[in-house]
């Protein structure tokens, strides 16, 4: 049994310590907002925050999260920055198929938590690991800028 702090609550997970956070969330805790894309840190679909940093949960074992805070897409509506990002996503109608979008929102939120006025280069740097097969990148950029304005 491993105790993880997820979205502010200590949660017992009955899984081997080497289990990736992604599968503990999805399979053990039925928190399916975090998506599986590649399983190899190549697409960003599985992005969550660990200690405030955007990380790839498909390659990060739960043992690495003990004593730290995991934050997932399920908590974003209760987070000032996450909510601003989600509202901007809706306003700009960002998602197409939607599959990559929880990861996109998590990376965008991590960026805006540390940089309230990101330049295009800052956005490119923060979002580079999040692939969108539907090509929603332009709307993502607009939405991040809009969320930044809302939070200013
Ligand atoms: S599923 Fe984790 S980066 Fe693709
Ligand atoms: S909206 Fe379809 S993969 Fe990004």
Residue-wise pLDDT tens for the chain (152 aa)? 999 999 999 999 999 999 999 999 999 999 999 999 999 999 999 999 999 999 999 999 999 999 999 999 999 999 999 999 999 999 999 999 999 999 999 999 999 999 999 999 999 999 999 999 999 999 999 999 999 999 99
Give the per-residue pLDDT at 58: 98
Q: What does the pLDDT read at residue 87?
A: 98
Is the C-beta atom of 136 inside 6 A of ligand 2?
yes
Q: Ligand 1: does its nearest atom lie under 6 Å from the Cβ of 111? A: no
Residue 100 Cβ contacting ligand 2 at under 6 Å = yes
Q: Is the minimum distance from the CB of 131 to ligand 1 under 6 angstroms?
A: no
CA of 100 to the centre of ligand 1 (A): 10
Alpha helices in 93-136 (DSSP H): 101-114, 120-127
- Closest to 34 (Cα-Cα) out of 101, 97, 86, 88: 101
């Amino acid at each position: 049994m491993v105790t993880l702090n997820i979205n502010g609550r200590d949660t017992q997970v009955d899984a081997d310590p080497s289990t990736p956070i992604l599968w503990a969330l999805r399979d053990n805790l039925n928190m399916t907002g975090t998506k599986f894309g590649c399983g190899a840190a190549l697409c960003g679909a599985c992005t969550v925050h660990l200690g405030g940093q955007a990380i790839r949960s498909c390659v990060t074992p739960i043992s690495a999260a003990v004593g730290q805070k995991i934050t997932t897409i399920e908590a974003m509506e209760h987070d000032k920055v996450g909510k601003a990002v989600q509202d901007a996503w809706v306003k700009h109608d960002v998602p197409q198929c939607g599959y990559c979008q929880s990861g996109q929102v998590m990376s965008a939120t991590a960026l805006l938590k540390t940089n309230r006025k990101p330049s295009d280069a800052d956005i490119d740097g923060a979002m580079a690991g999040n692939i969108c097969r539907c090509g929603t990148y332009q709307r993502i950029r607009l939405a991040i800028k809009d969320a930044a304005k809302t939070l200013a």
